[in-house]
Amino acid sequence: MQDSRQLVEQAIARRPGPVPVDFGSTAVTGIHVSVVAALRDHFGLPKQPVKVHEPLQMLGWLEEDLKQAMGVDVEGVFRTKTAFGFANENWKPWDFNGLEVLVPGMFNTTVDASGDTLLYPEGDLAAAPSGRMPKGFHFFDAIIRQNHFDPENLNVEDNCEEFQPISEADLSLIDAETARAQATGRYVIASFGGTSFGDIARVPGTGMKDPRGIRDVAEWYVSLRSRRDYVHAVFERECTVGIANLARIHERAGSRVGAIFVCGTDFGTQTSAFCSKATFDELWLPYYRRVCDWVHANTSWKCFKHSCGSVDRFIPSFIEAGFDILNPVQCSATGMDPEHLKQTYGERITFWGGGVDTQHTLPFGTPAEVREQVLSRCETFARGGGFVFNSIHNIQAGTPVANVVAMLDAVREFNGRN
């Protein structure tokens, strides 16, 4: 019987076989902490608070017993610090809408007059808060802190503050984490960071106490049109430092890693796109190609690209850039019909996700409707290989556990038939 690592490698090589399953290996293939807790109860696992390892989206860590119960085939390696600039260590209890969870020791919050929860960069309560969770909500939004913006005197170094040579301490942590992940026998995907290239979740600099440069989301999007030379300079610096860091990481991690999460910049909306294909090809394609070319020339790693929304127009450019894997495959967006995607691009890129709609079917459908959609998506995307099962982005708070179980059962049913 094939092991998990072989199953994923076979899928990426686009060879027919059982569909491997990923949940929890990246910040875009995860599960909300409340649903993780509900799944532990469903499977009768020991009661224990779930760790919030990605506080921006409040994603819960899947412990080994839950991964086995769910049939997970992929193991994640994460960046050493969260989006808020503190490490996942020294866990402490926190009451989250009545659910006791564990959060990192420097996860420090206050509650404002409106009842909103504020989270602080590096856990420093003396700094301005960088995250806000509205009262009764389930995740944090970035707080815009653009306090040093002078459009006439922009300094590229300000927007490159977070892109620095990797430290020896971080390399040691990556060494240990990749060794741990490899020992699980699962396929390993690593989110090393440093190659975000305009990922709008990173632009506000939630992990920095006083970020400089363009940190307002709207201003950044305006700059893609009006300050292209500046954006090119930021991407050039990020690319150069990022590749140098990957070279040092590879010396430590080597073949333990199967794929790396290169970038999570979103290019699609529900019905259209954030930019034209021509803009993508000018601003992003050269830097994506440099990263992917270096990875393919110097490592055995595969390159994972995340982009939500209607991205059909960009997929040829993703392939040209050298991306091996596309996630989350948002089939509900315009032009993202599963059969069209498989027929048009299935021989050139692996679809990692798209297995069930997390906006409609999974949270609001019946278990029978979930089963039907999962079986249909597997029939389409797994044809001839090239498919790793995941939902469309993270499983959100409030999703019925019965529907999540129906999803997992449907994948097993499909694999049992084939």
Contact indicator for 54, 107 with CB cutoff of 8 Å: no
Q: Give the SS3 label for residue 231.
A: helix
In degrees, to the nearest 5, what angle opens at C-alpha 132 toward C-alphas 127 and 135?
135
Radius of gyration for the alpha carbons in the chain, expressed in angstroms and rounded: 21
For the entire predicted model, the pTM comes to 0.97
Statement: residue 245 has pLDDT above 60: yes
Look at residue 2 in the predicted model and tell me its pLDDT: 67
Statement: residue 278 has pLDDT above 90: yes
pLDDT band at 1 (very low <50, low <70, confident <90, very high): very low
Higher-pLDDT residue of 80, 164: 164
DSSP letters of 277-294?
A: HHHHHHHTHHHHHHHHHH
Q: Which residue(s) pair with 54 in the sheet?
A: 59
The closest of 284, 251, 249, 247 to 265, measured between CA atoms, is: 284
DSSP state of 61: P
Statement: residue 316 has pLDDT above 50: yes
Contact indicator for 265, 284 with CB cutoff of 8 Å: yes
CA distance 36 to 43: 11
Mean per-residue pLDDT for 211-232?
A: 97
What domains, with CATH codes, occur in the chain? 4-91+145-417 (3.20.20.210)
Statement: residue 46 has pLDDT above 60: yes
Q: Which residues neighbour 37 within 8 Å (Cβ) at sequence distance 6 or greater?
A: 49, 50, 60, 99, 101
Look at residue 227 in the predicted model and tell me its pLDDT: 97
CA distance 57 to 242: 25
Statement: residue 183 has pLDDT above 70: yes
Express each pLDDT in 380-398 by its tens digit: 999 999 999 999 999 999 9
Mean per-residue pLDDT for 161-178?
A: 96
Look at residue 418 in the predicted model and tell me its pLDDT: 80
C-alpha 93 chain-centroid distance: 25
Q: What is the mean pLDDT of the chain?
A: 97
Strand order of the sheet with strand 74-77? Answer: 74-77, 187-190, 259-263, 302-306, 325-327, 350-352, 387-388
Q: Where are the beta strands (DSSP E) in 10-143?
A: 50-54, 59-60, 74-77, 92-96, 99-103, 109-111, 117-119, 131-133, 141-142
Kindly compute the dihedral angle of the four CA atoms of residues 107, 172, 256, 104, in this order, to the nearest 10 degrees.
Answer: -10
Strand order of the sheet with strand 109-111? Answer: 109-111, 117-119, 131-133, 141-142
Look at residue 80 in the predicted model and tell me its pLDDT: 85
Sign of CA dihedral 251, 256, 259, 265: negative
Express each pLDDT in 76-124 by its tens digit: 999 889 999 999 999 999 999 999 999 999 999 999 999 999 999 999 9
DSSP letters of 315-362?
A: HHHHHHHT--EEE---TTSTT--HHHHHHHHTTT-EEE--SS-TTTHH
Q: In the structure, how many helices (H) and strands (E) does the chain have?
A: 14, 15
Mean per-residue pLDDT for 284-291?
A: 98
Mean per-residue pLDDT for 265-292?
A: 97
Phi/psi at 13 (5° precision): -75, 0
